[in-house]
A and B are shown apart, each in its own frame.
Chain A
């Protein structure tokens, strides 16, 4: 018999750890301790999640869930995402320390806020109840509002934070209203019960459809998918660069997990109720439309950007579109592909943002694409790393981005969404233009005085780990797929 406490260890560790770090910050004047404790907490999360991964989900389902009363899902997918979030937090911490020291006097709240955001994400990944799902999304979002406006004396940071806060609260309202309607329709907040109710046709179809629609709107906002993506570039551009990498990778991954959790319990269920307005195929077609628009719009807007940070921000909108394909596919394969792409995307995007944050040096200089001209002469290693990330983001074979896209495309084709795959291919080809364009600028454009921003310390670790991740996942994708000893 597995003890429930062992299974809940990742969740408990990160929750207690995040509060402990803040307490430490108040208790000591030593900033090093706070920083290293945060790293330890995240390592603990990753290791304990890896430990719970060995248990079979089927056995876990029988475990005595008296404490959680079935509001929590253990092991399997949630453990994999725990590891992804722990990795995201670690990479962000390594990159943000140097960035904070340069731009601002180092403020320790940043570390504890990152940890608190990770708590929210872990809660989402573990949720088996719509209450937990909502609380996780809210916890993560509230921390994100603060992190976006972390540089309080910069005007556009505050503008972005306020925009994000107002629109985000609005989206949370949609999410909550949707949850309320689903509860009213099926009589339960536990997702596994809801899927049983749907399978038996024992629910009010109108309210369930409206509720699902509202929930999708709320979650699509958090993912920054097409009609609700306008906030994303402003927010990613306005927030501290090291943090934007965190927002648009881990944050996006967490919102996508929420969609996966809902999709696997609601969309993939065959229902016997004939009056179901938003039955599975219709809902998936709508999502497919959102996904297609998101990738095209994201990539087309990124084409026009002259600022590297804005370009990455728009391209992250496009990547959300790609990942949505896995949810449209709504099969086990599709969900695996979502997890894989989230992991790859984490490495390549955080790595790219870390480099941008390093090159921007102080007070947001050197952010135009033309500033990167001839980077290879002053920072050859950095230019090579950036080139790797760009190639991976574009989906060129030796890197992880290629396999990420490959798995998503295969999953979509197998579920009969060939047209979506074709659009995704076209969108990827469009995206080549600006990704490769940056590489060309770095290597083949001449610049009279190329930027030189000194030596890198902490960021080096982030970049190195990201490179290793991107290449490892590209050469041996089966290593990551080996983690999937579970069914959704």
Chain B
């Protein structure tokens, strides 16, 4: 057993356990916290795949920004008792079970075919996953797209400020 496999097993088991906790926990804040934990474990999995940059992004964007939003929503809606929100059997649940089941069958078929048995991380992956390479690509081959993204975010911020501004100069 190499270190790679050990770390993969640890991260994977913890990720599954925390994911189960997300959907079974009674209190929404516990769910949210275990979701943060789940995101950290996923970041660890990315690290074992030599994707350092995505691992860091995972922590920053999901565990940082998006979870803050989720926790804020829980706080503002004041969801103390989840029991009230529990609904019985509905169509949405049926679809969810169906899609989840389809995915499970798909994975089982792939495993039994042996399609996933012969997977190794390519040598190139560890070179491509670094922030250095991604930054280099972004500022050479993708210089136009990255600049346009800048303008897009700029426009969005201007719009958000305009829409949220308190006093519009309408009444003179």
Partner of A132, one of B140, B141, B148, B156: B148
Asked, given contacts A146-B159, A146-B163, A153-B168, whether A131 binds B152 with beta carbons under 8 Å apart, the answer is no
Partner of A67, one of B143, B145, B156: B143
Closest residue on chain A to residue B164 by CB atoms:
A152
Asked, given contacts A119-B151, A138-B152, A139-B151, whether A71 binds B145 with beta carbons under 8 Å apart, the answer is yes
Partner of B145, one of A15, A19, A22, A131: A131
A135 / chain B contacts, CB cutoff of 8 Å? 145, 148-149, 152
Partner of B152, one of A22, A139, A145: A139
Asked, given contacts A69-B140, A105-B170, whether A143 binds B148 with beta carbons under 8 Å apart, the answer is no
Instruction: Tell me how many residues of B have a C-beta within 8 Å of chain A.
Output: 22
Chain A binding site: helix, strand, loop or mixed by DSSP? Answer: helix
Does A384 belong to the interface (CB within 8 Å)?
Answer: no
Chain B nearest CB from A20 CB (Å) reads 12
Contact digits for B154-172, partner A, Cβ 8 Å, 1 yes 0 no? 1110110011000011101
Partner of A105, one of B141, B151, B158, B169: B169
B162 / chain A contacts, CB cutoff of 8 Å? 109, 146
Chain A nearest CB from B159 CB (Å) reads 4
User: How many residue pairs, one in A and one in B, have C-beta atoms under 8 Å apart?
Assistant: 73
Does A404 belong to the interface (CB within 8 Å)?
Answer: no
Asked, given contacts A69-B141, A71-B142, A131-B142, whether A136 binds B148 with beta carbons under 8 Å apart, the answer is yes
A143 CA to B156 CA in the complex, in Å? 7
Chain B nearest CB from A65 CB (Å) reads 11
A149 CA to B148 CA in the complex, in Å? 24
Chain B nearest CB from A30 CB (Å) reads 15
Does B144 belong to the interface (CB within 8 Å)?
Answer: yes
Asked, given contacts A68-B144, A109-B162, A135-B145, whether A18 binds B156 with beta carbons under 8 Å apart, the answer is no
Q: Are A22 and B158 in contact (CB under 8 A)?
A: yes
Residues of chain B in range 114-172 having any CB-CB distance to chain A below 8 Å: 140-145, 147-149, 151-152, 154-156, 158-159, 162-163, 168-170, 172
Binding site for B on A (CB under 8 A): 15, 18-19, 22, 67-69, 71-72, 104-105, 107, 109, 112-113, 116, 119-120, 123, 129, 131-132, 135-136, 138-139, 142-143, 145-146, 149, 152-153
Binding site for A on B (CB under 8 A): 140-145, 147-149, 151-152, 154-156, 158-159, 162-163, 168-170, 172
Known: A109-B158, A135-B149. 8 other contacts (CB 8 A): A69-B143, A113-B155, A129-B145, A132-B144, A136-B148, A139-B155, A153-B168, A153-B170
